[in-house]
Structure 1
Amino acid sequence: MAWDHGYFSATSYTCGAYRELAPAWLDFAALLKGHQPPRGHEGEAFSYLELGSGMGFGLCLLAAAYPEGQFTGIDFQPDHIVHSRRLAQRLGLANISFQEADFLSLAASPGPLSAAHHYVVAHGIATWISEPIQAALLQLASAALTPGGILYCSYNTFPGWLAATAYQHLADELRRGGAHSGQTLKGAAERLTGLLGSTEAPSALAQAQPALRAKLAQIPNQNAAYVLQEYGNEGWQPIYVADLHRRCATHKLRFHASATLPENFLDLLPANVRPAVLAETDPGLRQSLQDLAINQSFRRDLFLRGVAFSTDSELRQRISGVMLRLLEAPATESYVFTTSFGQVSGAVERYRQLEQGLTGGPRSFGQLLEDTGIALPELAKTVSLLLHSGRIGFDRCACADFNRARQVNDQLLELILDGRPYDHLLAPGSGGAVVFSLVEALILDGQRRHLGGQELEQHLQQGLAGRGRSLQGEAAEKLTAFAERQPRLQALGVLP
């Protein structure tokens, strides 16, 4: 077999940043289920490994946000490694390295990966590779983790991906016939749509897979690099949760919690399926019932190599020290959260009380316990939903390097303006990143040139036109929206 083992290697992957991969987020998710995280406290030194680090953008942001950590990215695609190393050098990051390596070869001779890591993450890789490569991935993750360390593994799951299997199969057959990959994906969508009949007279396939029509309609509008990487791999195969959990268990990796925080609270399940799920006493089977009940399509699971269970007193002490802050939380008359369990509504008074407690600045979980009088389990759920919605975040002001972050963001802004496909800036105050568009980069560039009013609008429009882009909406509206957002970005250390 070729060096890529059937993985689609003709193009590079997209540049993404994912909040669930941040150490503070992983620690909190582990705490929710009673595990003492591998770091004793925020700001403690740690080692972090990403298997399948792609273009390295997200890992570079984490390295910039957590200067006390040592970060390593592993990827077998040389184009990815070249990009990652050059980006890390451009951003001036000394606490990160990237290694070009193949999982099979590394599993046979782990070398530097035998060192203990507190965190190992594998985002969007496990179900895009063939089973022998997946086994090597899990073997490496287990070998690289220190006892008590956390593995984050996200993957496509059944039953939610059942409808897409017909599309991927047809695309794979067309590809085997010699069609170009981009044409293959478009042609497969068109051909399969033609087999669905009309909405008034659906075919047997459309009746059996009612979600397929909507899935096919999305493909032409999705990022081309994502679609190619999503469906173009010979090893593409979503998996039922029980199957992956069993495979992890053979490598001493025990499922513990979900990094999708609301999924740790089964009382949030829809009322019509909740009793059937909660009635099951076996934890593994309960996970299967949960996924079937909600038609789960993507999981962000945390596995442990050795569990450090907490007593109630230890858990309260540790979680009480977690620092929280407001993020971008505009005033709202209702609190409705979109989760994999469906729409979840919260009591307005409770959520508003908690957010008001953070308006004066960051507060610890323990301080919020005292201020609100909410019981710990209920406050943990309330905080989890607010974190999930992006209204609040973790606070890292005490150990963040704001000068370094400013230098990193200045470089990122230059790269965005130069046409790099980046859409995030570093937020040192929360230990994460925030979405930041080309439109916002151009507005900020105009402000730094001391432009205002119509001159700034013209700068924005000309900047987009010069990059082959057009403005969606009115320029004045974009300027107003950015002006409203700017103080929040300054509070997070995104902007000076």
Structure 2
Amino acid sequence: MSSWTSGYVSEVAYTAGFYRELTPAMLELAALGKSTLTTQATQPLAVCELGCGRGVSTNVLAAANPHSQFYATDFNPAHIVEARALANAAGSKNVHFFDSSFAEFLDEPSLPQFDIISLHGILSWISEENRRTIVAFIAKHLKTGGLAYVSYNSLPGWASAAPLRRLMMEFGSLHAEGAFTKLGKSLDMLGKLKEANARYFQASPGVAERLEKFKTQNKNYLIHEFMNEDWHPFYHKDVAREFSEAKLNFLCSAHLLDHVDALNMTEAQRNFLNEIEDAGLRETTRDYIVNQQFRRDIFIKGGVPLGLFTARERWQETRFALSINRADAPTKVTGGLGEAAMQTEVYGPFLDALASGPKTLKTMQAIPAIAELGWARSIQALLVLVGSGHVQPCLDDKNDGKRRESTRRFNRAVMENARHSTDIQALASPITGGGIGVDRFEQLFLLARLNKHADAPAFVWQILSTLGQRLLRDGVPIETPEQNLEELRTRHATFLEKRLPVFEQLGLT
């Protein structure tokens, strides 16, 4: 093991995902949901991501928020080479990448004081020493009133599956081959253990299903999730205790559906929880009620409550945008209690209003069907719609034009990358200040449109055929060029009808 890796997998690149919870406007909305004062996302911010991986989230956010400065570090130099290459291709001048360890980054002289410090998928996969360094970094570099976003594997949700991960590591350690071979042999041994009717699988509901799911999941993700030397699920109260050393208090979950208790707990469970006076214990007990496996915590350094009228004004000033086709909007939402129906009379008016373009809550309140809902039901409806990903909070419309300049450059760089790669599946929105999920074929259709190709499906097929690639239908490769082109024409028609109008409203075109 190379000493600089500290037991973390470095030979395999991490996935190139965009993590929506890191978006400044999303974090601001979560804090607003708790009526807490924070710096608004439309203001110039200094934002830091610790353990940025391949830098996709930071690059997206830098492009969508050119008025702010973004700093990020990842100890893996290959990740940082890739992150810088994307930033350079996009011409982003407000993003700064480092290949420093957390200890080195702690004393980096060029760093400002930050409004937001984020670490997604880091805490559970590093050593206690590195956790202490992160707390010291936040204590030193986070502004008073600033937010820290921390996600991690949590207990008790991981309790039954933790032994599965331990055996994966042990079986993998028997082999000197690369990470992919270790993973394959570990999964093979676990499969044999299950077939031998090990009582662990019988006594731990859901573990067998999890093992079966591994077969279809991204191998890079599985290696980074399960094959590192350090792997620690935490109780919330223990994490809160550690971060209190940096003068942080737990504010709320970044997952907005967690804010809606009716989706996650019965009335009896809510009443029981309200009997617990200690905030940390109450939040930890809640994890037992919902069997939480992964937490997305927001901490604040010196939280100050917003006054009632100020909080209401900020809600009314907040702009929202629809990020799905209105006709395809789901009628159910999934919380801790399972699926719940989304009442047409509550959610329909918001979806209808946003179908014609982004709007502030104040504008939507002028619609009689929304006005009749009242304040509390309107706020809960928006929390559910944003939490489920159907709606996005937006920056104000004052600087949409300036943001379009930087997102246009960035999105072209990503779309050009889609000629040969499926890795990056998000584009930057100047409207939301965040990323929007856009798959490879949609990116190539947009690229054809940008380059004024008259026949977008033919343009995409030329790219695929040059690379020797074919499309899949129901998991089976499509054989002939004619059939591939026909499939692309079908997908393009759907794109024009359902996706392009949404992308236009979000400023992606």
TM-score if structure 2 supplies the norm length?
0.89
**Cα gap change, 1:449/1:225 in structure 2, threshold over 3 Å: closer, same or farther?**
same
Please say if residues 439 and 464 of structure 1, whose CA atoms lie closer than 8 Å, have aligned partners that are also in contact. Answer: no
Identify the residue that residue 399 of structure 1 maps to in structure 2. Answer: 399
**Separation (CA, whole Å) in 2 of partners of 1:451 and 1:314:** 51
Contact 1:335–1:351 (8 Å) recurs in 2: no
Identify which of 205, 214, 229 aligns with 2:209.
214
Cα deviation, 1:306-339, whole Å, max 9, x if unaligned, reads 1121121221122221111222143268631123
Q: Mark the runs of 5 or more structure 2 residues left unpaired by the alignment.
A: 474-486
Letter in 1 for 2:410: V
The match for 1:299 is 295
The residue aligned with 1:475 is 488
CA positional deviation for 1:395: 2.7
Which amino acid is the alignment partner of residue 176 of structure 1? S
**Deviation per CA, 1:442-474, whole angstroms, max 9, x where unpaired?**
33445546343xxx5455445334435431233
Alignment-derived partner of residue 90 in structure 1: 89
Give the one of 351, 354, 357 matched to 2:350. Answer: 354
Structure 1 residue 5 corresponds to structure 2 residue 6: yes
Matched residues in 1 for 2:410 and 2:429: separation? 10
Letter of the 1:186 counterpart: G
Q: Which moved more, 1:301-310 or 1:465-474?
A: 465-474
Q: Which residue of 2 aligns with 1:192?
A: 190
Is 1:140 aligned to residue 137 of structure 2? yes
**What is the CA deviation profile of residues 401-442 of structure 1, one whole-angstrom value per residue up to 9, with x for unaligned ones?**
213322221221111113362111122122222222222233
CA–CA distance in 2 between the matches of 1:121 and 1:404? 23
1:128 matched to 2:130: no
Task: Tell me, yes or no, if structure 1 residue 418 matches structure 2 residue 404.
Answer: no
One-letter identity of the residue aligned with 1:347: Q
1: CA distance, partners of 2:286 / 2:489: 46
Distance across 1 between alignment mates of 2:203 and 2:133:
36
Structure 1 residue runs without a partner (length 5+):
none
The answer to whether residue 253 in structure 2 is matched with residue 258 in structure 1 is yes
Q: Relative to structure 1, is the Cα distance of residues 96 and 437 closer, same or farther in structure 2, using a 3 angstrom cutoff? A: same
| Secondary structure of the structure 2 residue equivalent to 1:187 | helix
User: Do structure 1's residue 28 and structure 2's residue 42 form an aligned pair?
Assistant: no
Taking structure 1 as reference, are residues 341 and 369 closer, same or farther at Cα in structure 2, changes over 3 Å only?
farther
Tell me what 1:488 maps to: 502
Distance 1:164 1:277 in 2: 26
1:177 match: 174
Q: Which residue of 1 aligns with 2:72?
A: 73
How far is the alpha carbon of 1:361 from its aligned partner? Answer: 3.2
Q: Deviations over 1:24-43 (max 9, x none)?
A: 1000101111211123xx52
Give aligned pairs, total: 485
Inter-CA distance 61–106: structure 2 relative to 1 (3 Å threshold) = closer
1:437 is aligned to: 439
Q: Does 2:162 match 1:165?
A: yes
Q: Is the 2:410–2:428 Cα contact (8 Å) retained in structure 1?
A: yes
Task: Name the % identity.
Answer: 29
Distance verdict in 2 for CA 1:445–1:100, change over 3 Å: closer
Measured in 2, the distance between the counterparts of 1:105 and 1:277 equals: 42
| Residue of structure 1 aligned with 2:312, choices 312, 316, 319 | 316
C-alpha spacing 1:433/1:278, structure 2 compared with 1 (3 Å): same
Give the distance between the partners of 2:376 and 2:382, measured in 1 at CA: 10
Give 2:453's aligned amino acid.
H
Do the aligned partners of 2:153 and 2:294 also contact (CA within 8 Å) in 1?
A: yes
Write the letter of the residue equivalent to 1:11: V
Against the structure 1 CA distance between its residues 85 and 253, is the aligned structure 2 distance closer, same or farther, given a 3 Å change threshold?
Answer: same
CA spacing shift, 1:333–1:46, aligned 2, 3 Å: closer
**1:17–1:58: 8 Å Cα contact kept in structure 2?**
yes
Aligned to 2:221: 226
Deviation at 1:125, TM superposition (A): 0.4
Q: Which amino acid aligns with 1:344?
A: A
**1:48 paired residue number:** 47
**Structure 2 residue aligned with 1:390:** 389
User: Normalized against structure 1, the TM-score is what?
Assistant: 0.92
CA distance in 1, matches of 2:329, 2:32: 31
2: CA distance, partners of 1:336 / 1:342: 10
- Is 1:408 matched with 2:410? yes
Question: Aligned partners of 1:330 and 1:436: how far apart in 2?
Answer: 17
CA RMSD of aligned residues (A): 2.2
Distance 1:369 1:451 in 2: 42
d(CA) in 2 for partners of 1:291, 1:331:
35
SS at match of 1:149: strand
Q: Which residue of 1 aligns with 2:16?
A: 15
**Contact 2:415 2:444 (8 Å CA) reproduced:** no
Give the conservation status (yes or no) of the 8 Å contact 1:138–1:251: yes
> How far apart, CA to CA, are the structure 2 residues paired with 1:341 and 1:152?
25
Deviating more after overlay: 7-16 vs 398-407: 398-407
Moved more, 60-69 or 464-473: 464-473
SS in 2 for 1:3: helix
What amino acid sits opposite 1:425 in the alignment? L
2:61–2:433 Cα contact (<8 Å) kept? yes
231, 237, 240: which one pairs with 2:232?
237
Letter in 2 for 1:35: T
Q: Aligned partners of 2:295, 2:467: CA distance in 1, in Å?
A: 37
Q: Which amino acid aligns with 1:493?
A: G
Secondary structure of the structure 1 residue equivalent to 2:185: helix
Distance 1:121 1:209 in 2: 33
Describe the SS at the equivalent of 2:4.
coil
Q: Secondary structure of 1:399's match?
A: helix
Distance between the aligned counterparts of 1:224 and 1:197, measured in 2? Answer: 22
1:296 deviation in Å? 0.9
